[in-house]
Homo-oligomer: A and B are copies of this chain.
Amino acid sequence: MKIHKQKIELQTTTQIEFIDITKQVEDVVAASGVREGQVLVYSTHTTSSIIVNHNEPMLIQDFMRMLYRLVPVSDRYSHDLFELNRASTSDGRSNGHSHCKAVLLGNSQTIPIEKGQMMKTEKQSIFYVEMDGARKRDAVVQVMGE
């Protein structure tokens, strides 16, 4: 069995951002030499997610609107009061909403591999979903198989 992994490093630039990391994941799959198996894409953070969907700019606006509507920034989040009360050690972010959004979308995706290629279709892109940017971020890409 082959196990190969690599970290992808990202610099996000705004609060909510969908970053297409398909090419980076393809490169790790190619470097792994795995012909049959799986790739796991995992966010090591608690205010970001990994999703697979269509990379169409207006659709990404729809995703953002859905996230803001289902988990409004304008609500009161207890976590933000907690952070306020430990201001000396807090990073000063009111990001209760970001954690909630991350729980809804989940923090990893697994994609099967066949003949060295991900078995996703052309319209499926892999996104790193930033929900508390801008920040430096990373994701683990791990390939297992033969």
Residues of A within 8 A of B (CB): 1, 3, 5, 36-38, 40, 42, 44-46, 51-54, 56-59, 61-63, 66, 70-71, 77-79, 81-82, 96, 99-100, 102-112, 114, 119-121, 123-124, 140, 142, 144-146
Chain B, residue nearest A3 (CB): B36
A105 with B103: CB separation less than 8 A: yes
A114 to B144 CA separation, bound complex (whole angstroms)? 13
Contact A42 B111 (CB under 8 A): yes
Given contacts A5-B112, A61-B78, A70-B70, whether A119 and B140 have CB atoms under 8 Å apart is: yes
* Contact status A71-B78, CB under 8 Å: no
Say yes or no: A59 contacts B78, CB within 8 Å. Answer: yes
Shortest beta-carbon distance from A109 to chain B in Å? 7
Q: Is the CB of B1 within 8 A of A44?
A: no
Interface contact A78-B62, CB-CB below 8 Å? yes
| Shortest distance between the CB of A96 and any CB in chain B (Å) | 5
Given A59-B82, A59-B96, A66-B100; 19 other pairs, CB 8 A cutoff: A1-B1, A3-B145, A38-B40, A44-B124, A46-B52, A46-B123, A53-B99, A56-B79, A58-B81, A62-B77, A62-B96, A62-B99, A66-B103, A103-B105, A104-B104, A106-B106, A108-B109, A112-B140, A119-B140
A46 interface neighbour in B1, B54, B79, B112, Cβ under 8 Å: B54
